[in-house]
Structure 1
């Protein structure tokens, strides 16, 4: 355990000791809605006019694909509780190949973090990032790079649910699950149904859309997962006056190291799950995250790093907001935010 981790761990270990509420607060909302934010207009020219029958038996229509297209926008849905206790809104940003469904529910049908934080009085904004879900897609003439699609067994092996490469089988009885895993493996087949195509060339418009969201609804707290690690930190670096706290849930990317001093006034929490040392990739990913946290601290900032097993919360996969003990992790985040004076 390095010196940095020892320094912050003593201050955050008690977070896990706060028990989850025995009975869930009521879910009462007084408003909900949605909007799109960000994006641009892209023009396509030189394409042939086509005649298309949209419905079997219908009358063909001529479709001219030349013209301007709305692309790279982001879909956002918001919910406002009756009793507001969060001092600012809570923004939920999902990881790679996923969408806002990440926070809506779990594979075995339990409520997700969206409802969990709503029940505790947070106004919540849940988004589908650029090129995901309800945000829409651009024509191939605009996004020329191919989309990445992963087979259904990929998350099982890569997200620390199964025992690494080769642990997935189409036969559930033959799947090799990590001992002690809290992921609801009996319902795993529900999880890959929410996967979305992913591009590796849309980071800049995604950051631009998130900045536009922050400009529209913040000051706020941002909770972000996995691929959104770089989005959360870079957007905070772009708008440090609008972001009051950052919660990085197993971040796979980070901000600009040359601008870490911009983050010194924004308290941050980094959370890592279980089985990291048994994985081929995650020891390096976590090490890079701690190194980025150390740079923020060296610039005068505050970052708490929590390894859940060391804090008494065990068995978490990379999708810890879907694990059976997701409420314990949410309570840890809630307690940290309360101690930062962001909840009343």
Structure 2
């Protein structure tokens, strides 16, 4: 691991709104082991905001920052370290010379969430170990905790450490998340968005919503891509890379997700957009789970992404705008 010299590390909140809660009974509660006191939860609340940590290099080698957007039921922690304790893609991108923003979408990690049903009308869903084993393609459905794919790159012995990242999420708040990402992009300016799973779908939407600011997109096994692409959208100038791991043919769920993503790719290509699809098994990289940033060969996978970004930066004027100091 090489040294990285940072100019600053700063945390930010973007998006959200204020709302009122009225009519709740005042409770007589013991707080932090003290004496009982009235707890009145009526009042004004901030909801829908996202959290972002900005890592600014002392001497970046690339002109645009990378925004890291996590998947569903996850947080920005997925980029910071692997379940077996190695540096995550955050560090790898900093080493490569990119400024990086690590984001927690609304309701995730340090972004907090709101009470329900007083503010959110519905309750969140939660991800069990059993579901994650299947959804992240660590092993076949029903295989938790012992039956993993024979040649998996996922560090199976550290699966429980991986599962500690899981957080609740609401299924009907995509627009809330996109609105917060809108504010983030407006504040950051020209940027590269790298999104995983649900975050990949958000990245696809962001490219359509901000064609002037989102200069390149990397989606890692994305879900929820914007299909059909609105007729008024103009994504043709935005280079995009879509990456896929292994075992998709063993998962009906992921076969469906990939078909939807391929429809998005085809729609972009019909408009002349520069889209690259990187199928890891097709280039000799086998065994990757849905969480390839957590796999044992995560550095190898990231090297493919950095190589694409480097090549794209060298030939695209959209990625050559100098960083503001």
From 282, 291, 296, the equivalent of 1:310 is 282
Q: CA deviation at 1:259?
A: 2.3
* SS of the residue 2:25 aligns to: coil
- Unpaired segments of 5 or more residues in structure 1? 1-23, 170-174
Q: CA deviation at 1:256?
A: 4.5
From 167, 188, 202, the equivalent of 1:196 is 167
1:229 matched to 2:200? The reply is yes
- Alpha-carbon contact 2:67-2:193 (below 8 Å) kept: yes
1:62 matched to 2:33? The reply is no
Q: 1:309-336: CA deviations, max 9, x gaps?
A: 0011111000001111111111111111
Q: CA deviation at 1:31?
A: 0.8
Structure 2 CA distance for aligned equivalents of residues 234 and 113 of structure 1: 23
* SS of the residue 1:259 aligns to: coil
1:80 matched to 2:56? The reply is yes
Structure 1 CA distance for aligned equivalents of residues 287 and 125 of structure 2: 29
Q: 1:21-79: CA deviations, max 9, x gaps?
A: xxx432221210101110000111111122222022x2322222211100110010111
- Unpaired segments of 5 or more residues in structure 2? 314-318
- Alpha-carbon contact 1:72-1:205 (below 8 Å) kept: yes
- Given the two structures, how large is their TM-score scaled by the length of structure 1? 0.88
Structure 2 CA distance for aligned equivalents of residues 311 and 291 of structure 1: 22
* SS of the residue 1:247 aligns to: strand
* SS of the residue 2:230 aligns to: helix
Report which structure shows greater RCO (CA 8 Å, sep ≥6). 1
1:187 aligned partner: 158
CA RMSD of aligned residues (A): 1.4
Higher mean C-alpha deviation, range 239-248 or range 150-159: 150-159
- Alpha-carbon contact 2:195-2:201 (below 8 Å) kept: no
1:110 aligned partner: 86
Q: CA deviation at 1:147?
A: 0.8
- Alpha-carbon contact 2:93-2:100 (below 8 Å) kept: yes
Structure 2 CA distance for aligned equivalents of residues 150 and 316 of structure 1: 21
Matches within 5 A, 1:229-248: 229-248=200-219
Structure 1 CA distance for aligned equivalents of residues 106 and 169 of structure 2: 10
Q: 1:83-124: CA deviations, max 9, x gaps?
A: 201211100000000000110001100000000001111110
* SS of the residue 1:255 aligns to: coil
- Alpha-carbon contact 1:290-1:305 (below 8 Å) kept: no
- Alpha-carbon contact 1:234-1:256 (below 8 Å) kept: no
From 202, 220, 231, the equivalent of 1:249 is 220
Higher mean C-alpha deviation, range 239-248 or range 27-36: 27-36
Q: 1:187-231: CA deviations, max 9, x gaps?
A: 111011110001112111100000100000020000001012321
Q: 1:119-146: CA deviations, max 9, x gaps?
A: 1111100011111110001011111211
Structure 1 CA distance for aligned equivalents of residues 219 and 128 of structure 2: 27
Shift >3 Å, 4+ stretches: none
* SS of the residue 2:178 aligns to: helix
